[in-house]
Structure 1
Amino acid sequence: MKIVRITSHVLGYELPEPLGYSQQYYTKRTAHLVEVETDEGITGWGECFGAGNIALANKGIVEKVIQPMVLGMDPLDRDVIWHKVYNLMRDHGQKGMPLQSLSGVDIALWDIAGKVAGLPLHKLIGGAHRDRIEVYGYGMMLRPESADSLVARFTDEAAAIKDMGFKATKMKIGLGPKEDVRLIEAVRRGVGDDYPFMVDANHAYTTHDAFYVGRAMEEFDPYWFEEPVAPEDLDGYRELRAGLRVNISGGEAEFNRWGWRALLESRGLDIAQPEVCALGGISEYLRVLALCHAHFTPVVNHVWGSAVAVATNMHLLAAMPPLPGGLFPWEPMLEFDTTHNLFRDELLTTSLDIQGQVATSGGTIAVPGGPGLGVTPDRDFIRHYDICNTS
């Protein structure tokens, strides 16, 4: 079997209303799918992290840089392919967009391997440690409106996500320390006293401001404080973890095993959040997961993208060993974006129906059982939303 073509599909549409986080507002939803074709008619699908113009740049890397390196190679030699591509791109970037691009290709190769073997991804990895996965609903994004308006909106939206059946919820902050504390209080008010919620700053703060917000939020008992400072600030992460009474999480902006080794050795994380569509794909994710567990750091995958990314993470979470184990082990959760996302809801020929499952099963979902990722993108849908399609 040989690889004969790799195609990037960058999809996009206008959102009904602007959404934002601490770094920017955006009005378009995008997704970057990667399709790897073989001479035996077996096709694999993957996804690259990176929105907007980043996706367009990554399309160039996938098709113009990586594709020529691997044409004619056996797609089942995915570790050989991974290291060939990484080594040839190393001089031009060991993090960021080259790794995002390699991630999409690698995920597609695992999809092919599962289809060849007739096994779901979690079986290829080693089996499912759980047949159902807990899900938390992510929402409460920033919008270009007043803080008072957001406070009211966050209270209502948090209550709505809880009512949908999710096990927990996560909010955005980034207005500034004092206003962010108001948003955190609003979410706790919306979900009540005993419901878990998480706070995501998207590295908005200096260490000083992160301490201010972190100490103020302790009163409202969030489960974790995500990306409080810049991902490069390993000392800041360590200081915050030592000085706050809330879990510190992060890692979505870290790449490959070498970057994760430094992050974990700094002892700045209570919870690791690797992003499989960015750090180097499934092949590298499994190495990072082993590093996290070697450092006794629990993992809750970062998930952002289309149904392809969601399905990939469902398998990875199913196959994740319990840490540290026991009768009632700590369980990972699937991150699920509850905001408007056609690429999550309508991309596949058969929907994952995450929200439907959550509503009827106490906040959990079943693990996909089909070969590979177990999902099939709708080609007509892709053609309709492909922003690079000139036909």
Structure 2
Amino acid sequence: MKINAIDVIELVIPFDDGGRGMGITPGRWDSVDSVLIRIETDTGLVGWGDCFSYVCRTATAAAARDMIRPMLLGRELDATPEKLNHELQKRLHIFGRYGVTLFAISGFDIALWDIAAQHAGKPLHALLGQAWRDQVEAYASLVRYADVELVQHFCRQAVQQGYRNIKLHEIDPEVIRAARRASGPEVGISVDVNCAWDAEQARERLAVMREIDAAWLEEPVFPPEDFETLAALNAEFALGAGENACTRHEFRKMMQAGAVRYPQPSVIKVGGVSEFMAVAHEAQEHGLSVMPHSPYFGPGYFATLHLAAVLHGAPLFEHLYVTLEGDLAQGGTPLPVDGRVTIPQTPGLGFIPDPAILQRYRIA
């Protein structure tokens, strides 16, 4: 089986989150930027991948087109996706072990796994290990509102829709407390501050985390690779971290340092399915529970669902709590219903893009 064609597709799909879209990205965040990878083989199989590209879409697309596409176009698929992933990382290491290089590799890796699973006639999770579930509990991952009334409104709305878990991206203690009051005592709450605090501030805010009975505090300090500080905080309160880490090697350092209770690889950033599964195996050896990072849609969303099927413990699926202007998946994305998402069972990822949506939101 040979790779006949590779397309790198840039998309921008607007969304509404009910807020101002300010606080996390450099400017207003009101759209999902995507770089999709489409790989077609000479047997007619088509695999789809997803590269992380929020705010960095043009750079990620350039890495995919200029560095990776030339190395894979025309290749015989006589090696596993893991081996091809390793080859790409080795040949491109001088261009970065973090950031856009790994984001681009992630997309190609996902597409190659999609092809491998379709070729086997099995859903992706069947190639990855024992499936422990056909549905996964989801949490509503709210954007940062920085507003008491807004966060209370959307917490109540999520609970009414059946979510039993919510993630905040707030940094103000009063807004965080308001979210707990609105959600009620039975709903699980985690708090991701996106590296907003220094070590002293984070230690002081642990009291707020205990007060609201948070499930975990996510990426409390900058820089995210300050494992020494994270380990000290993790000894006092459960931390989640890893959305900014690439490859199994960085996660190994994190876990060996005792810096995290809940490792959080993102399949479209960490290095794809191959690296995600390596992190999952490492986490299991350390007795830690993986909580995938997945605030995106498209092939990465579908891949995360398959990964959730084989994770040990009780993983939660992160669902970005926004309303997209268009659904990229033909037949519809499997969204949470009463707080749970059904894992696809068709061969491959189960993702096929809607041609009309692809055409409407594609960037030339």
TM-score category (smaller protein)? over 0.9
Superposed, 1:34-113 pairs within 5 Å as 34-52=37-55, 54-75=56-77, 77=79, 78-113=81-116
1:305 counterpart = 2:293? no
Corresponding residue of 2:353: 377
1:348 maps to 329
> What amino acid maps onto 2:277 in structure 1?
L
The verdict on how the C-alpha distance between 1:310 and 1:13 changes in structure 2, with shifts beyond 3 A counting, is closer
Matched residues in 2 for 1:241 and 1:46: separation? Answer: 34
Q: Deviations over 1:147-191 (max 9, x none)?
A: 5xx1111111111111111120111123xxxxx110111000101
Structure 2 partner of 1:364: 340
Counterpart in the other structure of 1:164: 161
CA drift of 1:14 comes to 4.1
Amino acid in structure 1 at the alignment position of 2:45? I
TM-score, with normalisation over the residues of structure 1? 0.88
Aligned to 1:325: none
Q: How many Å separate the matches in 1 of 2:296 and 2:325?
A: 10
Runs of 4+ displaced beyond 6 Å: none
Q: What letter matches 2:281 in structure 1?
A: A
Partner Cα separation in structure 2 for residue 79 and residue 217 of structure 1 = 39
- Cα distance in 2 for partners of 1:292, 1:5 equals 36
CA change 1:300–1:257 in 2 (3 A) is same
Offset, 1:23: 5.1
Distance 1:76 1:164 in 2: 46
| Native 8 Å contact 2:13 2:324 kept in 1 | no
Structure 1: which 5+ runs fail to align? 175-179, 323-330
Contact 1:314 1:334 in 2 (8 A): yes
Find the aligned partners of 2:112 and 2:13 in 1 and give their Cα distance. Answer: 28
Amino acid at match of 1:279: V
Which deviates more from structure 2 when the two are superposed, residues 268-277 or residues 126-135? 126-135
1:200–1:226: 8 Å Cα contact kept in structure 2? Answer: yes
Q: Where do 1:117-196 residues align within 5 Å?
A: 117-139=120-142, 141-143=143-145, 150-174=147-171, 180-196=172-188
Tell me how far apart the structure 2 counterparts of residues 373 and 126 of structure 1 sit (CA, whole Å).
15
**1:96-132 per-position Cα deviation (integer Å, ceiling 9, x unaligned):** 1111100000000010111111100011112311122
Contact 1:136–1:169 (Cα < 8 Å) also in 2: yes
Over 3 Å counting, the alpha-carbon distance change for 1:342 and 1:32 in structure 2 is farther
Partner of 1:339: 322
Root mean square deviation of aligned Cα: 1.6
Asked if the contact 2:292/2:318 (under 8 Å) is kept, the reply is yes
**Bigger helix share:** 1
1:369 aligns to what SS in structure 2? coil
User: C-alpha separation between the residues in 2 aligned to 1:258 and 1:31?
Assistant: 26
| C-alpha deviation, 1:22, in angstroms | 4.0
Residues 281-334 of structure 1: CA distance to partner in whole angstroms, max 9, x if unpaired?
001111111111111111010002213222111110001133xxxxxxxx1111
Distance 1:109-1:316 versus aligned 2 partners, 3 A rule? same
State whether residues 155 and 179 of structure 2, in contact with CA within 8 Å, keep that contact through their aligned partners in structure 1: yes
| Amino acid corresponding to residue 360 of structure 2 in structure 1 | H
Q: CA deviation at 1:372?
A: 0.3
Aligned with 1:319 (options 310, 322, 334): 310
Q: Output the TM-score relative to the length of structure 2.
A: 0.94
The SS at the match of 2:235 is helix
* Structure 1 residue matching 2:21: 3-state secondary structure: strand
Aligned pair 1:10/2:7, yes or no? no
- What is the CA-CA distance between 1:64 and the residue it aligns to? 1.2
Question: For residue 328 of structure 1, what is the aligned residue in structure 2?
Answer: none
* Cα distance change of structure 1 residues 76 and 204 upon mapping to structure 2, 3 Å threshold: farther
Deviation (angstroms), 1:366: 2.1
Q: Secondary structure at the match of 1:194?
A: coil
Once the 2 structures are TM-superposed, how far is the Cα of residue 6 of structure 1 from its aligned partner? 1.8
Q: Which moved further from structure 2: 304-313 or 252-261?
A: 304-313
Given that 2:266 and 2:293 are in contact with CA atoms closer than 8 Å, whether structure 1 keeps it comes out as yes
2:245, 2:270 within 8 Å by CA — same for their partners in 1?
A: yes
Aligned counterparts of 2:216 and 2:284: Cα–Cα separation in 1: 19
**Aligned residue for 2:256?**
265
* SS at 1:277 equivalent: coil
Q: Name the SS of the counterpart of 1:26 in structure 2.
A: coil
Deviations 1:323-378 (A, max 9, x none): xxxxxxxx1111101112246xx1111113413xx23xxx2222211000012111
